[in-house]
Amino acid sequence: MRAKNIQCVAVVLLLTMAIRAAAQFATLEAPAAPAGYLARLLVNEAAFPGERGYVSEMDSKAAMLSILWVLHSRVHHIPAGYSQKQICAVNTDDVLAVITAPNQCEGFFRNAAGQPDVEPRVTARLENLLRIANSGEAPGRFAGLLNFAQGLATAYLAGGIPGADRYAGLTVVNRLAVTGRAYAWMTDQDFYDPGGNFVTIPDSLEGSLGGNRFFTLRKEPK
């Protein structure tokens, strides 16, 4: 009888461990897959709990969506008076090429074989985020943010951009006529101007999301 009881408890404990081991609350597609690469950029650019710039899960998700809109606008919504190359240093209809354009998205580039690649620090941070997301007893905010990024990237590449562009309707910023939509973002660098024809979208117009500042363009290029 005692042996049976011990057996029973052992089964329960083993089951517990198996469930824990199997808990995979967040996953990203492989970096070689376009949706996996795009998801990595969205994750890389948004603040997670505990990081500088973190406000809330909703704010960081909004930042990911706005970053996706920047990439999308750089491909599909080049304003009159601008060439695509002026805005994102490349002529392309491929959003991955916008990400890997020279000197545009820090840590994202094409390697010697011409494949999209990321710097080791991007991978190191991502591995930490995944470890935290998958170490709890139930899916939490880390898992929510990682899965949101992957879902957004997959949905975008499969069927276009979801959601609304919060900056699409911008016409004037600080009495300066602007094109609307965002065309750049920067992290933690509000003290400095991003250069060229980029115009800071102020806090009053929700220009600061997930630890990033977003920028639109002057209506009349300088």
Partner 1 sequence: MKRLCWLLLIFVLAAHWPAQAGETPSAVFAAPSSPPAEVLAETYLYDIMGHLYRWYLDESDIEGLAGIRQFPFWVRRLTVELDPGDRSQLAEIVLPLLNLAVRVKKADYTIEDWGVAVTSKTFRIINVARMSEPPAQAAEAVEVTVELAQMKDYLFATRERAQYPDDVLRAHLRAALLANFQLEPDKANVGGHIVHVAPLSPVANELWAFVEDKKLLVRFAADLDLDNPALWEHQAIAIRTYDLLRQTVVSLHEMPGSNEFLTRDQVGRALFNCILLGRKY
Note the residues at the interface with partner 1 (CB under 8 A). Answer: 1, 4-5, 8-9, 11-12, 15-16, 19-20, 23, 25, 48-59, 87-89, 103-106, 121, 124-125, 127-129, 131-133, 135-143, 174, 183-198, 200, 208, 215
Q: How far is the CB of 168 from partner 1 (least distance, A)?
A: 18
Q: What is the closest distance, in whole angstroms, from the C-beta atom of residue 221 to partner 1 in the complex?
A: 11
Q: To the nearest whole angstrom, how small is the minimum distance from the Cβ of residue 84 to partner 1?
A: 12
Residue 153: CB minimum distance to partner 1, A: 18
The encoded tokens of residue 111 equal: 């390697």
Q: Which is nearer to partner 1, 169 or 202 (CB)?
A: 202
Angle at 98 between CA 97 and CA 104, to 5 degrees: 120
* Shortest distance, position 83 Cβ to partner 1, whole Å: 13
CA dist 21 and 156 (Å) reads 31
Q: Which residue has the tokens 């990237």?
A: 153
CA angle 169, 174, 178 (to 5 degrees): 40
Residue number with CB closer to partner 1 (104 or 156): 104
Nearer to partner 1, 127 or 220 (CB): 127
> What distance in Å separates the CA atoms of residue 119 and residue 70, rounded to the nearest whole number?
22
Q: Which is nearer to partner 1, 80 or 103 (CB)?
A: 103
Nearer to partner 1, 29 or 147 (CB): 147
Maximum pairwise Cα distance, the chain: 87
Q: CA 80, CA 78: separation in Å to the nearest integer?
A: 7
Orientation angle between helical segments 141-159 and 34-45, nearest 10 degrees: 130
